[in-house]
Structure 1
Amino acid sequence: MRPRALLSWSSGKDSAWTLHVLRQRGEVEVVGLVTTLNETFGRVAMHGVRVELAHAQAEAVGLPLWPVPLPWPCSNDEYEARMRAVVAKALAEGVTAFAFGDLFLEDIRAYRIRQLTGTGIVPLFPLWGTPGETPALARAMIAAGLQAVLTCVDPRRLPPKFVGRAFDAALLADMPSDVDPCGENGEFHTFCHAGPVFNRPIPVHIGDVIQRDGFWFADLIAGPTPPFVQTAADRKRP
């Protein structure tokens, strides 16, 4: 019997690709997607994605969503307390592993290992590598049919005009050379709406594009794209 594992699910491309890799390897059985939510706004933390879209993703990959509501603003102590509750629930359900889509940031990896040490749950990092490997990783995702949209851009690292763009070969070609093509340094965050782990694509279109708390966000709305919505978004994007 394979070990039961949870997957940290941000709604983005790296989470979706991690699930794809885990299912290909077959070493663990992923039994749930853990997603932190801003409980004030009902959106996925940092990515700014509506919670209903995270639920749609969970349905499309055939796994239950484990939402973790967080207050806004949220202190690190409060975040860790709520994550400890997730770990306790996981242990009660026979989970022995927790997978993350981290790529190469050593401090993030060390933090996750530290938080799980002594809990009985082992951290997994299926995509772990080096900064030099992310260009090939990004191209592999796109070649495999993964489709995602940039929902959040940090204008200190990437021009705001990139928010709302598709994560595709054209984006990689246009991206500044000092930006990680997977956004691992926080340059951007994505919402994945199709790919090898989805049993069906999730139709979305871009609503408002706004600046908030120093970041640019493209609001994704479920459903096919009405032309007037796309035009409105284009007018608002810097």
Structure 2
Amino acid sequence: MGILAPRAFVSFSGGKDSHLSLWKAKQAGLDVVMLLSMLREDGERSASHRIPAAILRRQSEAMGIPILLRPTSWAAYEENFLACLFALKERGITFGVFGDIDVMEHREWVERVCQKAGVIPFLPLWGKDHKEVALEVGRVGFEAYVIVVKDGSVPQDFLGRRYDEGLVAELLALGIDPCGEGGEFHTLVVSGPPYRHRLPYTFGNPQFDGKCHYLEVW
């Protein structure tokens, strides 16, 4: 009888880093059995990427991995995230996969909440060179598009552009972190190694929420 792979969830944004981390977790031998996405309080969009819940469900279905969606306010974010971790641990999920690269405050938070829930954090991108991480997204076969840009940080005309080697070069030339680790921009992945079929999607007109320009997606 073979040894069962450890069961894991992925802290899932719908963007490039969570997808690359998912792929690396599978390569490392983890059995990714759940995606976890935190939504805004109204339950309509993801907390940071502004991706509609319906699109996150569509990504989940395209990969054949169930998703747990949890609405929350920012004030209650940790409380709600922890509640999800405890629920996942009860299902036999012992690892959590996170896409952080080098923001120590984020890592410390991840380690703290995982310790409380008895879950082992796995951060496969941690400490990697940002340019290499950015280029690896395309090299392994992920198709991603820029859907959010922070006002004053990234030109608005980057919205809707494919996140590829050419775009990475432009970001570097402008002095912008090609991974957007500081929230400069966010992406939507529509296909890649875990996908059984390409995600159907449509981009709408750019919107502005006072902080970021973003594309409606449906």
CA contact (8 A) 2:43 2:53 kept: no
| AA partner of residue 29 (structure 1) | D
Aligned pairs for 1:1-238 within 5 A: 1-26=4-29, 28-40=30-42, 42-71=44-73, 74-75=74-75, 78-130=76-128, 133-175=129-171, 176-221=173-218
Q: 3-state SS of the aligned residue for 1:183?
A: coil
- TM-score under structure 2 length normalisation: 0.92
CA-based RMSD? 1.5
Identity rate, percent? 31
Distance 1:214 1:14 in 2: 22
**Which blocks of at least 5 consecutive residues in structure 2 are unaligned?**
none
Q: 3-state SS of the aligned residue for 1:217?
A: strand
| AA partner of residue 178 (structure 2) | P
Bigger radius of gyration among the two: 1
Summarize deviations over 1:146-175 as a string: whole Å, max 9, x none: 111111111232122212221112212322
Distance 1:69 1:161 in 2: 30
Q: 3-state SS of the aligned residue for 1:43?
A: coil
Distance 2:202 2:131 in 1: 27
| AA partner of residue 217 (structure 2) | L
**Which blocks of at least 5 consecutive residues in structure 1 are unaligned?**
222-238
The farther-off stretch of 90-99 and 155-164 is: 155-164
The farther-off stretch of 181-190 and 140-149 is: 140-149
Say if 1:69 and 1:214 are closer, same or farther in 2 by CA, change over 3 A. Answer: same
| AA partner of residue 3 (structure 1) | P
